Structure 1
Amino acid sequence: MSGYQTIVVGTDGSETSLKAVDRAGQIARVGSATKLVIVCAYVPAEPRDVDRAQDILGEDAYQVVGSTPAEDTLRTAADRAKAAGAGNIETVAVRGEPVRVLMSASKKHRAELLVVGNRGLNTLAGRILGSVPSAVTHRAECDVLVVHTT
């Protein structure tokens, strides 16, 4: 079997999601993938809402961003993917909910592999609200790698 040609990886800027980007970059390098697409889903927020979220959510506040932080997140993720050895990297910031955005990006780019971190699989919030890794493994039309990042 040849390596994956197109790999999509999701990131939200958290350290755990960036570990998934690292792994996707390694897989892209080893498998000689022709393209690595790094996707960041975001919901625009006013600065006051981001500040309030940081007070309430603490370390989970990275999930409340506007488009500029998503672009910053993507720059950081692209740098990490390059450091891991990935070649052709495309970054995409998409307004919307993470699972829907990842499914859409995987389909649009004809991904053969979707990479996500495992954060949320075993958390209380993940059990109540649903987790991105769990949802994408059930909905993806391509292979899914859930990277152990926590």
Structure 2
Amino acid sequence: MSDYSTIVVGTDGSKSSLLAVERAAKIAAVFDATLVIGVAFYEDKEQASQTLRQESVTVLGDETARENLESGKAHAEKFGATKVETTVRSGTPVQALMGIVNDFDADLLVVGNRGINSLTGRLLGSVPADVARQSDCDVMIVHTVNES
């Protein structure tokens, strides 16, 4: 395995996304890497309603996104991450994560598995599946929820 210098993880404030933050923080601590925690948010209800997928918690407005970031950062620091940066992005979770990965030239993207095995995820795609296809860096899909 190569060394990771920049790791990106997304959070929506949910318990399952914080499990992905925890895993990313532990990896960042081992590699003394920068951990970038990102939150995607929708500008308004109309933008959010245009997204049909239900695999992620809908974050409406950047104030909620910033609150989720603070929670994610504190959680990451509990698990050993010392170099933590945060960013919020308007748009879908996939758009936001891909933008963050590119902007920070990340080596690793960590996401939870929510939505990957759901019927909607299988038919329309899911955040973990979509980022795994689109990303130019390594992607770790963390088992954060049981789905049937």
The 8 Å contact of residues 55 and 127 in structure 2, kept in 1 or not, is answered as no
Q: Give percent identity, aligned residues only.
A: 47
Change (3 A) 1:64 1:107: closer
Return the TM-score normalized by structure 1: 0.85
Q: 1:13-57, CA deviations, whole angstroms, 9 ceiling, x for partnerless residues?
A: 111111000000000001111x110010110236xx9xxx9xxxx
Query: For residue 100 of structure 2, what is the aligned residue in structure 1?
Result: 105
Residue aligning to 1:121? 116
Q: CA deviation at 1:61?
A: 8.2
- When residues 26 and 94 of structure 1 are mapped into structure 2, their CA distance, relative to the original with a 3 A threshold, is same
- The residue number in structure 2 matching 1:11 is 11
Unaligned runs of 5+ in 1: 54-58
Equivalent residue of 1:110, what SS?
coil
Deviation at 1:137, TM superposition (A): 0.6
| Secondary structure of the structure 1 residue equivalent to 2:123 | helix
Q: Give the equivalent residue in structure 1 for 2:44.
A: 45
1:123-142 map, 5 Å:
123-142=118-137
Distance of aligned partners of 1:113 and 1:61 in 2 relative to their CA distance in 1, 3 Å threshold: closer
Give unmatched runs, 5+ long, in structure 2: none
Q: Please report how far the alpha carbon of residue 129 of structure 1 lies from its aligned counterpart in structure 2 after TM superposition.
A: 3.0
Normalised TM-score (structure 2): 0.86
8 Å Cα contact 2:12/2:56 also seen in 1: no
- After superposition, the Cα gap between the structure-2 partners of 1:138 and 1:149, relative to the gap in structure 1 and judged at 3 Å, is same
Q: How many residues align?
A: 139
- 1:61/1:130 CA distance change after superposition, 3 Å: closer
Measured in 2, the distance between the counterparts of 1:61 and 1:45 equals: 16
Pairwise CA distance, 1:124: 1.9
Q: Secondary structure at the match of 1:85?
A: coil
Which runs of structure 1 show a deviation greater than 6 angstroms over 4 or more consecutive aligned residues?
none
2:62 matches 1:67:
yes
Q: CA deviation at 1:97?
A: 1.1
Structure with a larger share of its residues in helix: 1
Q: 1:147 to 1:9 in 2, by over 3 A?
A: same
Q: State the AA in 2 paired with 1:19.
A: L
1:92 aligned onto 2:87: yes
Contact 1:45 1:64 in 2 (8 A): no
